[in-house]
């Protein structure tokens, strides 16, 4: 009984990695989302995203980066600080054969650190030896290389991601994966935006390998636990359709309304429209800006039908946020306008029923390396 308790935390962690060999919920850390602006708007971003976070929401939006160099960063803590989520992205416009394009590089880490390893807590004579307790981390990484450019059709742009996935659970388990995302964005006028993102379009395969010492394997056997075997997770493609509408009120107020629709292909989910063949998961967001300096945001997502006794009721997750965009001073008249943007969001990634709301902060900095032409 004591030895069963010693490996409880580890088994929970390994369960998280090996049970989901079916497509559903594979690499779920990539569904959290990046940027406090996006979280404040409920994740409705695919049609109008125009900064370095586009590598996550829609790589086609990366072509809207107009400055010489842009940096985006985010930090969040989930589950009362147990999980640490960090994001860093770099975007830079370049020219290939007189065609303006934007290259991006991003990395995300979602990890739980300082997990006690009690597999060797019990000595051979049956006594407890707390000096044998060590700690390990369980961390998921994703690194993305992105490319985006505008096309000859006015307002139309495309983009693509290649991503490498690295997941590790101490010295016990590790995994490598590879995937591709494609995106398109259409902005025909000052008001309307349309977006399409095909996540994991090639189907993303993540191969796991497990390694245990003979002593650790003995603990699993003595406690009637299964020793995990090498396996492959499959992440099925997901489509996101988005639209947004922007309008002005007077000279200084701007209102943006956005709608995203996730279409999952990995079987039935508990979403607004749920079936074996079609699952639709909408996200709604609003942003009210004043003088392009301060923005108030709100959004809803995670719309589900949950059991309430013998019936089901419709529930959703509300989100809120605020952003401040500060113009940078410049002595160059010809220079592109540059900003520093600080965003905050109050959101709940876990579940609308868990009451585990978190504070998210993200930062976007425009930098000048050299001036680029405005031509596309």
- For residue 104, what are the domain limits? 2-367
Beta strands in the chain (DSSP E): 69-78, 83-96, 99-117, 134-150, 156-169, 173-186, 192-199, 204-210, 231-235, 238-249, 253-264, 279-290, 294-308, 311-327, 339-347, 358-367
The mean pLDDT of 216-240, rounded to a whole number, is: 83
Say if 376 falls within a structural domain: no
Question: What CA–CA distance (Å, rounded) separates 285 from 59?
Answer: 20
Of 3-12, 72-81, 135-144, 213-222, the range with the highest mean pLDDT is: 135-144
Q: How confident is the model at residue 162 (pLDDT cuts 50, 70, 90)?
A: very high
Lowest model confidence (mean pLDDT) among 171-185, 279-293, 304-318: 304-318
The answer as to whether 38 is a domain residue is yes
* pLDDT in the model for residue 370: 53
pLDDT value for 231: 85
The number of folded domains in the chain is: 1
In this prediction, residue 278 carries a pLDDT of 85
Residue 372 lies in a domain: no
Residue 131, pLDDT > 50, answer yes
Query: Residue 342 is part of a domain; what is its CATH number?
Result: 2.40.160.40
Give the pLDDT score at 11.
39
d(CA 79, CA 363): 22
Phi, psi for 121 (deg, rounded to 5): -65, -35
Stretch among 45-49, 212-216, 303-307 having the lowest mean pLDDT: 212-216
- Residue 226 resides in a domain: yes
Span 270-282, mean pLDDT?
88
How far, in Å, CA of 240 to CA of 236, rounded? 13
Residue 211 has pLDDT above 90, yes or no: no
* Model pTM score: 0.85
* pLDDT for residue 111 is more than 90: yes
Residues near 186 by beta carbon (within 8 Å), at least 6 away in sequence: 155, 156, 157, 193, 194, 195
Identify the band that residue 349 occupies on the pLDDT scale cut at 50, 70 and 90: low
Q: Which residue has the higher pLDDT, 143 or 307?
A: 143
Mean of the pLDDT values across residues 219-240? Answer: 84
For residue 114, CA distances in Å to 6, 9, 30, 140, 169 come to 15, 12, 22, 15, 11
pLDDT band of 158, cuts 50, 70, 90: very high
The confidence score (pLDDT) of residue 92 equals 96
Which two tokens mark 167? 């997941």
Residue 375 lies inside a defined structural domain of this protein? no
Chain segment 71-109, per-residue pLDDT in tens = 999 998 877 778 899 999 999 999 988 889 999 999 999
pLDDT reported for residue 10 = 41
Residue 298 within any structural domain of the chain: yes
Task: Provide the pLDDT for residue 336.
Answer: 66
Please say if the pLDDT value at position 375 is more than 70. Answer: no
Residues written for the chain = 376
* pLDDT per position as a tens digit, 2-55: 443 334 334 334 444 444 344 466 888 999 999 999 999 999 999 999 999 999
């Amino acid at each position: 009984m004591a030895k069963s308790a010693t490996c409880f935390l580890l088994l929970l962690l390994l369960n998280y990695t090996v049970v989901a060999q079916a497509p559903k919920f594979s690499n779920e850390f990539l569904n959290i989302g990046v940027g406090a602006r996006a979280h404040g708007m409920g994740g409705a971003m695919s049609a109008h995203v125009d900064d370095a976070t586009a590598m996550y929401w829609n790589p086609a939006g990366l072509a809207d980066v107009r400055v010489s160099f842009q940096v985006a960063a985010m930090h969040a803590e989930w589950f009362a600080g147990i999980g640490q989520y960090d994001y860093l992205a770099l975007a830079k416009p370049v020219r290939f054969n007189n065609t303006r394009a934007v290259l991006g590089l991003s990395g995300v880490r979602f990890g739980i650190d300082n997990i006690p390893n009690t597999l060797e807590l019990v000595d051979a004579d049956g006594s407890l030896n707390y000096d044998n307790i060590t700690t390990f981390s369980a961390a998921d990484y994703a690194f993305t290389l992105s490319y985006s450019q505008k096309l000859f059709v006015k307002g139309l742009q495309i983009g693509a991601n290649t991503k490498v996935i690295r997941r590790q659970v101490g010295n016990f388990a590790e995994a490598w994966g590879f995937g591709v995302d494609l995106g398109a964005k259409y902005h025909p006028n000052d008001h309307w935006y349309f977006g399409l993102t095909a996540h994991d379009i090639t189907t993303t395969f993540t191969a796991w390998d497990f390694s245990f010492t003979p002593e650790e394997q003995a603990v699993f056997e003595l406690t009637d636990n299964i020793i995990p075997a090498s396996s492959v997770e499959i992440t099925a493609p997901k489509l996101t359709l988005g639209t947004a509408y922007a309008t002005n009120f007077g000279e200084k107020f701007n209102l943006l309304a956005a709608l995203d629709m996730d279409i999952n292909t990995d079987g039935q989910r508990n979403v607004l429209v749920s079936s074996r063949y079609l699952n639709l998961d909408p996200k709604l967001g609003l942003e009210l800006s004043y003088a392009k300096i301060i923005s108030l945001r709100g959004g809803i997502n995670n719309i589900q039908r949950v059991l309430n006794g013998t019936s089901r009721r419709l529930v959703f997750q509300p989100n809120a946020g605020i952003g401040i965009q500060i113009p940078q001073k410049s002595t160059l008249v010809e220079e592109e306008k540059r900003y520093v943007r600080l965003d905050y969001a109050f959101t709940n990634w876990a579940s609308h029923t868990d009451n585990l709301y978190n504070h998210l902060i993200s930062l976007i900095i425009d930098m000048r390396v050299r001036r680029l032409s405005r031509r596309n």
